[in-house]
Amino acid sequence: MAMYNGSNAYKQAYEQQNEIRVLDGKQARKRERAKNAAKVRVVVSVAAIFMVLLAMTVISAKTYSLGVEINTLKTQIEDVETATARAEMEMGELCSLERIEAYAKNNLGMVYPGADDFYYLTMETPVVAEAAGESAALAEEQAESSLWNRIVNSVTSFFRGTASASEY
């Protein structure tokens, strides 16, 4: 009898499992909402993954383009530095004393003076004595004119100050 009861319980469990349930309206809507919620979760998850991958692609593309721009700017900087170095070298060559000397000799016809090309001036030389006399007279005139200039400037500044004070 014990065996009969056990097999009977097994049979009842099997029948309950295979039995089709008829749901009422509330339970059917609840089950349908659960299925729809699961579908929505899947769609939202896939959309979120797609958006993350799209954002990563955009960031990678922007990073790559910035890297290319940085490399281009580095190349331009190197080109400018090379041009600057060449210009400095050319400027140094153009300013060298040897080049200036060669230009003066070849293009301007200049030559170094010889020993007999020097002329020494002394105070007894008429040109020097005359120039010395003129410079002394010029210095005396400047001293006199500077005295008069100082007097005139002080008088005009006095009257300017008086005129300024009367305006207030």
pLDDT digits (tens, 9 = 90+) for 136-152: 666 666 666 666 777 77
- Average pLDDT over the chain reads 79
pLDDT in tens, 101-144: 888 889 988 888 887 777 666 666 666 666 666 666 666 666 66
**Range in 76-90, 119-133, 154-168 with the lowest mean pLDDT:** 154-168
Q: How far apart are CA 79 and CA 59, in angstroms?
A: 30
Q: What is the 3-state secondary structure (H, E, C) of the chain?
A: CHHHHHHHHHHHHHHHHHCCCCCCHHHHHHHHHHHHHHHHHHHHHHHHHHHHHHHHHHHHHHHHHHHHHHHHHHHHHHHHHHHHHHHHHHHHHHCCHHHHHHHHHHCCCCCCCCHHHCCCCCCCCHHHHHHHHHHHHHHHHHHHHHHHHHHHHHHHHHHHHHHHHHHC
pLDDT of residue 168: 46
| pTM of structure | 0.39
pLDDT at 87 over 90: yes
Residues 6+ apart with CB under 8 A from 132: 123
* Half-sphere exposure in the Cβ direction for 137 (13 Å, CA): 6
Is 121:127 a contact under the CB 8 Å cutoff? yes
pLDDT at 17 over 80: no
Q: How far apart are CA 138 and CA 132, in angstroms?
A: 10
Residues 6+ apart with CB under 8 A from 128: 121, 122
> Which CA distances in Å does 161 have to 149, 150, 156?
18, 16, 9
